[in-house]
Chains A and B, each alone.
Chain A
Amino acid sequence: EAQVTQNPRYLITVTGKKLTVTCSQNMNHEYMSWYRQDPGLGLRQIYYSMNVEVTDKGDVPEGYKVSRKEKRNFPLILESPSPNQTSLYFCASSLADRPSTDTQYFGPGTRLTVL
């Protein structure tokens, strides 16, 4: 089944403890992206990648890192999480190398709580 998977789906952690949220797609998509969803703020882009080894900052990149070593994987890394990173995180991908003309396929979301 064509899909975007994220792990874990739920995570409660403490301030400063490094964590990684994985994202994987099996559709051979070029473009991958991370968003965070917060009440009243909608979805805001954290980082995106148009191709392997090509990543760029979105609108809210502070406190996050990403890597794109393989086409199918795009992990989100929080080196030192803080409570303001408590949010619902979505990974998305699309076939084209940019989202302007293509449907984004979203993962199921990761609900992160940082205490």
Chain B
Amino acid sequence: AQSVSQHNHHVILSEAASLELGCNYSYGGTVNLFWYVQYPGQHLQLLLKYFSGDPLVKGIKGFEAEFIKSKFSFNLRKPSVQWSDTAEYFCAVTYPYNTDKLIFGTGTRLQVFP
């Protein structure tokens, strides 16, 4: 079945800590991968996306993600988080056999304390 897994449901960090949020998908072929962020009271917006090429993708606000095909993963990272990174983060994927649909994970709520 088409799915995206985000195993970290709630992450709590102090400012300056490093962040890694997990994302796993369930297909061995080519996929397109996205990370979206929802800041409190705001719209979802795109952080970064991967279609092909360099598996290390850089996005806005210092975020990056690495596509590791052998692990079916697309983890989101940031070396040093800030209080303003407090938000909910969603991984999403489109599969080549169903490009009409963007499938979201269940989301990870990140809280950063000063």
Contacts A44-B104, A48-B100, A98-B100; is A106 near B90 (CB within 8 Å)?
Answer: no
Residue tally, chain A, CB below 8 Å to B: 26
Interface presence of B16 (CB below 8 A): no
Residue tally, chain B, CB below 8 Å to A: 23
Contact assessment for B45 and A106 in the assembled complex, using a CB-CB cutoff below 8 Å: yes
Contact assessment for A106 and B100 in the assembled complex, using a CB-CB cutoff below 8 Å: no
Interface residue from A42, A48, A92, A100 paired with B94 (Cβ < 8 Å): A100
**In the complex, what's the smallest C-beta–C-beta distance from B110 to chain A, in angstroms?**
15
Interface presence of B102 (CB below 8 A): yes
Interface residues of B in 34-82 (CB under 8 A from A): 36, 42-46, 49, 51
Contact assessment for B51 and A101 in the assembled complex, using a CB-CB cutoff below 8 Å: yes
User: Please, how many angstroms separate the alpha-carbon atoms of A4 and B42 in the complex?
Assistant: 13
Contact assessment for B32 and A43 in the assembled complex, using a CB-CB cutoff below 8 Å: no
Contact assessment for A43 and B99 in the assembled complex, using a CB-CB cutoff below 8 Å: no
**Candidate in B9, B45, B103 with the most chain A CB atoms within 10 angstroms:** B103
Interface presence of A109 (CB below 8 A): yes
A residues sitting closer than 8 Å to B (CB atoms) are: 4, 33, 35, 40-45, 48, 50, 56, 58-59, 90, 92, 98-101, 103-104, 106-109
Contact assessment for A41 and B106 in the assembled complex, using a CB-CB cutoff below 8 Å: yes
User: Please, how many angstroms separate the alpha-carbon atoms of A82 and B44 in the complex?
Assistant: 26
Residues of A within 8 A of B90 (CB): 42-43
User: Please, how many angstroms separate the alpha-carbon atoms of A4 and B49 in the complex?
Assistant: 21
Contact assessment for B43 and A101 in the assembled complex, using a CB-CB cutoff below 8 Å: no
Contact assessment for B49 and A103 in the assembled complex, using a CB-CB cutoff below 8 Å: yes
